[in-house]
Structures are given as structure tokens and as C-alpha cells.
Amino acid sequence: MKKEKLKKIIAVTIVTSVVFTGILPVLEKDKAYAEDKQAYSLEKAEAYKSFGVGQGIEWPSQVYSPYVDMVSWINNPDYSNNGTVNLKKIYEDTGVKFFNLGFIQGTSGVQNGKVNWGGGGYSVLSESGGENSQYNGIKKSIKELRDVGGDVTVSFGGLNGTPFWEVTQDVDVLYNTYMELVKGYGLTRLDLDIEGGAQDKTKNIANAKAIKKVQAETGVDIVLTLPVLPSGLTSVQLDVLEAYLSQGVQIELVNIMTMCYGSSSLNPGENYGTASLRAVDSTKDQLKNYFKKYANIDLTDAESYRKIGTTPSIGFEGSAHPVFTTDWTKLVVDHAKLNGLGMVSFWSLNRDAKLDNNSGVKNQYEFTNICKEFTDGGSVEVNNKPVISGAQSKTIYVGDNFNPLDGVKAIDKEDGDLTSKIQITGKVDTGKVGYYDIVYKVSDSKGLETTLKITIEVKAKPDPSKDNYDPNKIYNTGDKVIFKGEEYVCKWWVKGEAPDTSAAWEKVNSQNPDGTVDYKDGMVCTSGMKVRYEGKVYEALWWTTSVPGSDSSWKLIG
């Protein structure tokens, strides 16, 4: 979604940031970065300080939640908290209690093991920005809304600016950053607005790994906000969806931006309103397919619709598009009620509240008054399937202990904790090398069943007493070492890079019992080569150095 132009920022402090400029040699920069990252300890209490805005609440399974541009300057004193939207005033006017706040983005690289961030990409609109008046207004708005029983989610990304996952693909840095924000803002719901160049699949896989860790720690709900055509998500957006599902992220909603289609994408006689309905129906079928393929979750039509949010851009968006009218909005809301969608939203409340001038909005709250009808009835309540968490494919060694229930939980939105009802089939023989499948199954009180299969690899225990790797030695192409009981061969000149983590090394006789090879970053794979990566088996369709599953050079085979 488009971020409105920042009109004014009041800064009462000057923030000086120091970033690497290329003056340091590459190795020195890497060393400095590693030391900086190491210095940031997640065990320190101050890493997750509250920002003083209260704690979020559980969101309804169906919600009207418009997007608010919290960065755009508000001149109307009745609706302004130090220049930002006064959410409590909007609530008092309309009764709307849930809002999506756009957007938080990266500002100037990585520091202290986290991405530097700020509202709209402005460093002063952050915890590190000093006593900035507008940022304090943003926090005041959130706190006041929560005090009257409402809540917000923060949207990360947006069409303009730099999302975190474009700043870095370091999973630990991304994890640290999201944890700071989820804990600091007390978020129970997190929105990833992924569009434009930020839709790169490989970068989103890295981000998904971090989000998965955050979700395991906090239970935060995840919303993916994606562009869409009337025909549904394109291959680009489907790749993004795959990135998060394949990494085990539990997606609450796929919020599709039912806007800005372009005339060439419309069927004869179709307008932006009816096209938005087709976009929802098309996405419903795609979600059923992708949730089954990449998350092993069977969705009914009703459950798939409940996974969808619809977000048009109301009023005048630009000369390339028609004004999105209240009549079209009524079509969208009625269709959402009929099919039981999870969210109705729009960009932006600033327009609808007449806080920004927009030629397509005639009266204050004319779009909100329509969208509020979404939760007034007309939808069928959907029973959600239980969710199994904490079970994942992994490698252990002969003689290791393995309990299939360690860390595993089953939670149902309606029934609560169902961990005690998990049924397990399959057994791991920790005394014998091989691959073992474990299947988890749990049902809720209404008979909805969730199954999850993982694979446990049992490997021969390495003999570290034979290790001869020296981190201070320079190794050349063809040199061999033993590291953690495994033999490696050097592929190019290297010093100080551990063989089990560096692409400069390759295992000797690294083929697994089933003929696959364990994938490592940077590995060169040729046509027909089968690799194991994160518990799945992929076949290379041609010569490639990409991450398995990240592009069309790979085929998932097991």
C-alpha cells in the first residue's frame, strides 16, 4: 500500500548514526559486524523493554480494521495527537476498535544485532529517536485506544521504503528486531505488507525463518498482505506465500490488496468492485492448494475464505485508476459477509475521516459506515482446526534420546490446549542409522482433525577425537580435514571458516543412505542431484546454486 507523503516531523533531538562506508577492509567489516552482533544478548532484560503503550488483546476471528497512515501529519487539532491520528477520537466517532498502523521500515542498516527502524523509515519515529513529539503522539494514540478496549497491529513493509528483510537476511538479526517490536508494542498480531521488490522469495524465506522463531516465542498472529489481480495471486505472490508456509509460519490471514488492477486485467463488463469479488474467490482456491502442499493443512472452502482479508483503496488513488466508490465498497462488504472472510479493511482511514483531502471521499466516515456492517451478522462462524507446534524434522545421532512429545503442543482456538489428546504413530530406533517418519494427529471437540508428519534422521555419531582442522591455518583447493568427526575437502582458498557452516568446504562421502546429499549454503548442484534441506527432499532440475525450493530450478519430491 502507498505511504502518504510525510508533511511534518518535529524532532527535538539530533540522532547521529554511524554506518559502515566501505573504508574498512572486507574482513575487518565482517569482524566488526560479528562482534557487534555478539554483543547483543537476548538474555538481557533491557532487550525487550516495554514502549509504554499497554498490551494487545486477542483479535476477533472476523474484524473490520482499516489501515491508518500514522506518519502522515494531521493538522486538525480535534483528531491529532502531536501530529498523528488520534485513534481514541476515531473510536468515539465510529465505534471502530481495531486498526492496522502503517508502516514501520528499516532506516540505516544494522546496529546492536537489530535492524535500525522507524515509522515511515524515519529514525526519529522510533525508540532511538529521542523525545520526538510525533513519535510520542503515536504511542499515546495506541495507549489511549487500548485503554478503551481496542487494539492495533503494526504493519511492516509497504510499497515505499525498505522492509527489514531487504536490509538483511540474517535470521538472528531479523528475529531480534521483531522480538523488540512485538514485546515493546505488546503486539498480538503482526502484519507483513510485502509488495514491489520486497517479494523476493529467497529474502522472504530468511524472514520467514525469523518470524517462525518469533511466533514460537510469543504466539503472535501473522498476516501476509499481498498484491492481487482479479484472477488471484500471481506466481510472485504465490512464491511469497510458499516461503512462509514452507518454513512453518502459522498464517492467520492472507490479506489481499483488492486495488489498482489496471484495465487490462478486467473481464468485459467488469469494474474494480466486481473484480475485487473475483480476486477473493480466486485466492480462496489458491490458498486451499498452497496450504495443503506446503503446510499439509486441508482447508474447506469456508476455512479458506476465513483466511482471507480484503483491502481496497477507497476514493481517488491516482489518474490510472477509477475512483473506488461506496457502491463498490458495499459489494465487497456484502461478499465478505456472505463468504465469512476474516477481515475487511481499506486504505486509508485518513481519507475516510477527512483528515487527508481526497476528491473521491465526499463525507466523513462514509466508507467506514459501510464496512462496519461486516461484523453485524450475515456470516457463518467457522470452527478452526487445532494447530500442532514444536514438532519438526531434525537430525540426531545413534544413542541420543528422542521423545516425540518433547516441546510439542496442540492448541485449538475454540477448545484450548489439546496437547494431551495428541496421537502419535511411528517410532524412531535411535540405535540404527536411517530415516524415521513420525505422524502426529489431534482432533477437536467437533471432529476437525490436524495431522503433521516429520522425519527424524539418525546418523552415526562422529568421532571428534580424529579432528585435525586448524582455524588459524590457510587451506587451499583440494586440502582435506576432519571436523567434528566428518571429512571435508576445501573448494577454494579459505581461513577461519568452519567446515560445517562455510560453502568453501564440502563433505567427502556426504551421501545419505537414501542417496540424497545434505544441502549447505552456496552448494553447486547439478541436474538430477537430490538434496535434503530442512527436512524435505528436493531435486535440482538444472545447474543451480540457489536455496532448494526458492526458485524454479528445484522440484520438491519428498
Give 41's contacts (C-beta < 8 A, 6+ positions apart).
47
Under DSSP, is residue 345 helix (H, G, I), strand (E, B) or coil? coil
Domain boundaries defined on the chain: 26-375, 387-459, 467-509, 511-558
Query: Which pLDDT value is given to residue 289?
Result: 96
Q: Is the pLDDT of residue 358 over 60?
A: yes
Output the pLDDT for position 314. 98
| pLDDT band for position 517 (cuts 50, 70, 90) | confident
* pLDDT given for residue 16 in this prediction: 30
Read off the pLDDT of residues 148-160 as tens digits, 9 standing for 90 and up: 999 999 999 998 8
Confidence class for position 401, pLDDT limits 50, 70, 90: very high
pLDDT at position 291 is: 94
More confidently predicted of 309 and 459: 309
CATH number for region 26-375 = 3.20.20.80
User: Which residue bears the cell 518469533?
Assistant: 214
pLDDT above 70 as % of the chain: 89
Which of 249-263, 502-516, 539-553 holds the top average pLDDT? 249-263
387-459 fold: Immunoglobulin-like (2.60.40)
Q: Which three cell numbers stand for residue 159?
A: 510499497
Burial state string for 79-113 with b = 16 or more CB within 10 A and e = fewer than 16: bbbbbbbbbbbbbeebebbbbbbbbbbbbbebbeb
pLDDT at 32: 43
What is the model's pLDDT at position 1?
Answer: 67
The answer to whether the peptide bond before residue 103 is cis (omega within 30 degrees of 0) is: yes
Give the range among 260-269, 301-310, 366-375, 478-487 with minimum mean pLDDT.
478-487
Rounded Cα distance between 234 and 516, Å, is 32
User: What is the biggest distance separating any 2 CA atoms in the chain, rounded to whole angstroms?
Assistant: 78
pLDDT at 304: 96
CA dihedral sign of residues 238, 244, 250, 254: negative
In this structure, the number of other CB atoms found within 10 A of the CB of residue 445 comes to 11
Least confident range from 33-42, 125-134, 204-213, 479-488: namely: 33-42
pLDDT of residue 266: 95
**Looking at the predicted structure, is the pLDDT value of residue 69 above 50?**
yes
What per-residue confidence (pLDDT) applies to 30? 42
Q: Residue 393: is its pLDDT beyond 50?
A: yes
What pLDDT score was predicted for residue 14? 30
With bands split at pLDDT 50, 70 and 90, how would you rate the model's confidence at 381?
low
The answer to whether the CB of 450 falls within 8 A of the CB of 430 is no
The matching CATH number, chosen from 3.30.1280.10, 2.60.40.10, 3.40.50.720, 2.10.10.20, for 511-558 is 2.10.10.20
Judge residue 75's burial from the number of C-beta atoms within 10 Å of its C-beta, 0-12 exposed, 13-18 middle, 19 or more buried: exposed
Q: Which of 6-15, 365-374, 414-423 has the lowest mean pLDDT?
A: 6-15
- Is 511-558 the same fold as 467-509? yes
Per DSSP, the residues of 459-510 read: EPPP-GGG----TTSEE-TT-EEEETTEEEEE-S-EES--TTT-TTEEETT-
Q: 430 by DSSP, 3-state: which? A: coil
- The 10s digit of each residue's pLDDT in 244-290 is 999 999 999 999 999 999 999 999 999 999 999 999 999 999 999 99
CA-based angle 188:193:198, to the nearest 5? 135
pLDDT confidence band for 509 (50 / 70 / 90) = low
* Residues 6+ away with beta carbon under 8 Å from 277: 331, 332, 335
Cis peptide before 263 (omega within 30 of 0): no
Task: Say how far apart CA 523 and CA 501 lie, in whole Å.
Answer: 11
Task: Convert 528-539 to b/e letters by CB count within 10 Å (16 or more is b).
Answer: ebbbbbbbbbbb
Tell me which CATH code domain 467-509 carries: 2.10.10.20
The larger pLDDT score, comparing residue 455 to residue 356, is at 356
Dihedral angle at the C-alpha atoms of 263, 269, 273, 277, nearest 10 degrees? -100
Q: How confident is the model at residue 7 (pLDDT cuts 50, 70, 90)?
A: very low
Q: How confident is the model at residue 23, as a pLDDT?
A: 29
Cβ neighbours for 358, distance < 8 A, ≥ 6 positions apart: 315, 316, 351
Give the mean model confidence (pLDDT) for residues 529-535: 81
> b/e string for 485-500 if b means 16 or more Cβ within 10 A?
ebbbbbbeebeeeebe
Say how far apart CA 225 and CA 416 lie, in whole Å: 27
Higher pLDDT, 390 or 509: 390
pLDDT tens digit string along 15-51? 333 232 332 333 343 444 444 444 443 443 345 789 9
C-alpha span between 161 and 376 (Å, rounded): 37
Residue 10: the pLDDT is 35
Q: How far is CA 275 from CA 259, 366, 374, 496, in A?
A: 9, 21, 19, 57
Portion of the chain with pLDDT greater than 90, in percent: 64
Of the CA atoms within 13 Å of residue 512, those in its CB half-sphere come to: 19
Return the residue matching grid coordinates 534420546: 401
Q: Residue 245 has what DSSP assignment?
A: H
Mean pLDDT score of the chain, rounded to an integer?
87
Please give the Cα distance from 133 to 518 (Å, whole number). 53
Residue 521 is predicted with a pLDDT of 67
Question: Bridge-partner residues for 435, per DSSP?
Answer: 457
| Top-confidence residue, 42 or 124 | 124
pLDDT at 513: 65
DSSP state of 265: G
365: left (phi over 0), alpha (psi -120 to 50) or beta: left
pLDDT of 553 higher than 90: no
pLDDT given at position 337: 94
What band does 535 get if pLDDT is binned at 50, 70 and 90? Answer: confident
DSSP string, 139-202: HHHHHHHHHTT-EEEEEEE-SSSB-HHHH---HHHHHHHHHHHHHHHT-SEEEEE--GGGG-HH
Report whether 518 contacts 501 (CB < 8 A). Answer: no
